[in-house]
Chains A and B, each alone.
Chain A
Amino acid sequence: MRAVHFCSSCGKVQPPVPVDYFMFFGFTAKLDLDTASLEKEFYALSRRLHPDLFAQANPEERAFSLEQSSMLNDAYRTLKDPIKRTEYLLRLEGIELEEQSKQATEKARATGELKKQVVPPDLLEEVFELNMHLEELGAQKKLGEDDPALLEEIGKAKLSLEEKHDALLHDLKTEWKKWDETIDNGREVDRPKILATMLDLLNRRNYIRNLLRDVNEAVE
């Protein structure tokens, strides 16, 4: 059921009750979410909760509106993005992702600490080759040289990574459906395996996304 944002008798805005983002919108914690109806709900709730509508209200209502609409925006931002949504569900289930974010990379760069980085074994060879190419490209750039063959190699690798990335997203969506089924049929025993698969897919996906970012930065 949807969280209570307004008083049932006077209709006034209420302080947010601690609920998860799915409940905030009145959704069950399903992953194959209809983003169109999410957007519709977001706009509808914005029209009732936004601080602009409480500019003339008393300080208490203004404060509630601020809290409620910030939570609404945070929830919408998280749920509308397929990756953030999946990560959020994993967190709700008590699972933390590996640190493969850009932030972790930069932090590692700045502090010299080793970043937790797990290269998916089946990618090892490809990644090794790609890194060689990227280093070569960097060296050439410094000399002001331009090697079309090298760029083509990198372009190919990039294409292959993009394909893998899309395939992972496709696999992730399959897991969403499995997860959603367990919500419908209540089979909690199936969930740990699905969660573990999703975690693995997300980690691989993040790894590939970081690689792609490196490639794009190098080529630009």
Chain B
Amino acid sequence: MSSDLIVGIDLGTANSLVAYMQGDFPVVIPGEDGLNLVPSVVALDATNQIVVGNAARKYLIETPERAVYSVKRLMGRGIEDIQEELKLFPFQLADDLQPGEVLRLKIGERTYTPPEISAFILRQLKRNAERFFSSPVTHAVITVPAYFNDAQRQATKDAGRIAGLNVLRLVNEPTTASLAYGLDKKKNGVVAVYDLGGGTFDISILKLHDGIFEVIATNGDTHLGGDDIDNLLIALALDDIRGDLAIDVSRNGEAVARIRKAVIEAKIALSSQLTAKLDVDLPGGKKYQREISRELFEHLVQPIVDRTVSPCKQALKDANLKPEQIDEVVLVGGSTRIHKVRQLVQDLFGRVPHTDLNPDEVVALGAAVQAKILGGGSEITQDMLLLDVTPLSLGIEVAGGVTDKIILRNSTIPASATQYYTTQVDGQTNVAIHVLQGERELARDCRSLARFDLKGVPPMPAGMPRIEVKFLIDANGILRVSAREQRSGKEAEIDVQPSYGLTDEQVENMLLESFDFAEDDFRQRQIIEARREADTILTALAKGKKNQAWQQLTNDERRNVEALEKALINVKDGDDYHAIRASIDALNQATMHLAELMMDTVVSTALKGKAMDDADSDLEEAPQAGHPVAKAEFK
């Protein structure tokens, strides 16, 4: 893999971009229309083809029920989380949506989950890059708001996979932006990055030290951005229309879409002009016209802008710094063009913020730098290293519905921590582990990430078991949890599968389905299927190794199987289909004997008069699909 072909992607609420390192400089890759910004809009055209970006924008007005925007707001969230969103955004949920299920949105007659819709945007960016390079692009770094929780990160990673991208890293947007700023001037000092985008707000405070970008504290609000300003202006216009023209168009999708377009244009104009005009054609031949002064606009947006103050103060407090100890302030995100925002930042930190880089592009540019670093680096990125933090504390629910924090917010990632717990009731054999994210003291006020049971703890008096719960956050900010009862050695481990997340299988199916109507190649599909088969056989083997049959193999056999197992693990995430295939076949062959022995064990235990249920459960323990066991017939 040539490291040039790892791209950096800013998957934004309003706009998305793809960039790469051209020599020593990151540059944005334009789309076919020559524009750098790809609006994060997905629509179905008249022939039921998916269109993305600028080409999709017109459908927001023409056929609003066949278009969707700002889907980033829904990533990793459940129906209970988005009631506020539904009041303000024309999201149309699928009719048959069940509580607890991953959201599905209607676009025309079809329904898609938020990760699938994001994947359409990513696929468009991937295509833009492939057209630009005239070669396939399969590896990417994708940015996420620093304040995204585990579920939102997982959903973003899933979107990447559905789009056929190997997501090498999720990086936090403000941190990424600081990379773009730090490229030409390798300074030391403390930098605050204020990032107000289309839908999210982040504040990050970093310490720069000879190329190391160490995040000290981060805070934010994943539901605060330009969208909220648009909605305020839309509400103002709808009010006007009701009052002046005596019509209510708030339920008319097309009219609202037209108003939305007009207020966004006015909002942008007000960053450079003192007044802007709204001029909207309404259904029934009526016209809505008015002028908005910057003064009125700033008065309107004040409450929204003010909501960024408390996260900034908290971040400073967490960093144990006073505003005057911040050396530089950097502005990121289109909404920081608003004068009121700049004024607020200046007042908060007591200095004029930097605006040398285009606030719409700086995150993508930084992502390209990070892609280069991950690809092995070049002279210019050689000393650069990002040390990021987890934005929210992570823990589990303990007796009384209390959150017991295991990893605190602003811990540098990767991070790990272990805590010990015990049972409350005599003879308790199952322990429910409820994984939580957030700062609140009560479990019900935190975000529930996952629930799993540690089963089969031997019955002991309450307080006797020693249950070790281990948390590990990887460099993407994604959590893995394992639990083990130490006296019995009983183990349970999960990659946290967020409550509103897709399963691996769902993601793979979506990926396979996407090939059916995409131009993508057969080879990619083969690799995915081979990987899936590799996972199946590796899981089966892991189970098999716990079976007594494993001990009946000769030392040579065991060594051989383990060597081949390792070989498969090493090739399976690569892109060499033939290597994966060959490794699977070799391992299949080598485990044949183990499979036979395991079948014998099951049969003989059953014959020894063990209850049938137990024999079944033994079978259950044995490898399932594929190989080694399932293919041997039980006669």
B-binding residues in A (CB < 8 A): 43, 46-47, 50-53, 55-56, 58-60, 66-67, 69-71, 73-74, 76-77, 103, 106-107, 109-111, 113
Contacts and interface: CB of A to CB of B under 8 A. Distances in A.
B376 interface: yes
Interface string B1-34: 1010000000000000000000000000000000
Interface stretch (B321-329, B395-403, B522-530): B395-403
Interface string B406-443: 00000111111100000000000000000000000110
Q: Tell me which of B169, B370, B441, B570 has the highest count of chain A C-beta atoms within 10 A of its own C-beta.
A: B441
15 contacts: A46-B387, A50-B385, A51-B475, A56-B374, A56-B375, A59-B569, A66-B472, A69-B414, A70-B416, A70-B472, A70-B473, A103-B404, A109-B441, A110-B441, A110-B442
B400 A107 contact: yes
The residue in A52, A60, A69 that gathers the most chain B C-beta atoms within 10 A of its C-beta is: A52
B233 interface: no
Q: For this complex, into which size category does the number of interface residues on chain B fall?
A: 35 or more
A74 B475 contact: no
Contact of B374 (A46, A55, A73, A109): A55
A66 B387 CA distance: 13
B474 interface: yes
Q: Which 8 A-B pairs have the closest CB atoms?
A: A111-B400, A70-B414, A55-B374, A106-B441, A70-B416, A73-B412, A51-B475, A110-B402
A127 B595 CA distance: 71
A103 B405 contact: yes
Contacts of A111: 399-400, 402
A74 B472 CA distance: 11
B235 interface: no
A74 B415 contact: yes
A110 B168 contact: no
A55 B171 CA distance: 13
A74 B417 contact: yes
A55 B385 contact: no
B169 A73 contact: no
A42 B567 CA distance: 34
Contact of A77 (B169, B411, B441, B573): B411
A73 to B, nearest CB: 4
B316 to A, nearest CB: 15
A52 B416 contact: no
B416 A74 contact: yes
A137 to B, nearest CB: 22
Contact of A58 (B401, B413, B570): B570
A66 B402 contact: no
A66 B414 contact: yes
B475 A107 contact: no
Nearest to B209: A43
A5 to B, nearest CB: 14
B373 interface: yes
B570 A66 contact: no
Contact of B570 (A59, A70, A109): A59
A200 to B, nearest CB: 25
A51 B472 CA distance: 14
Given A51-B414, A52-B373, A59-B569, A106 B402 contact: yes
B212 interface: yes
Nearest to B384: A52
A18 B474 CA distance: 20
B386 interface: yes
Given A51-B475, A69-B414, A103-B404, A60 B169 contact: no
Given A51-B414, A70-B472, A73-B413, A56 B570 contact: no
Contact of B475 (A43, A50, A60, A67): A50
B367 to A, nearest CB: 13
Contacts of B472: 66, 70
Nearest to B408: A77
Contacts of A110: 400-402, 441-442
Contact of B411 (A52, A60, A71, A73): A73
Given A73-B411, A107-B441, 13 more contacts: A43-B209, A46-B385, A50-B475, A52-B370, A52-B386, A53-B385, A55-B374, A59-B570, A66-B414, A73-B415, A103-B441, A106-B441, A107-B402
Nearest to B407: A74
A70 B415 contact: yes
Given A103-B404, A106-B402, A52 B376 contact: no
Contacts of B387: 46, 50, 73
B385 to A, nearest CB: 6
Contacts of B411: 73, 77
Nearest to B399: A111
Contact of A51 (B209, B441, B474): B474
A111 B424 CA distance: 14
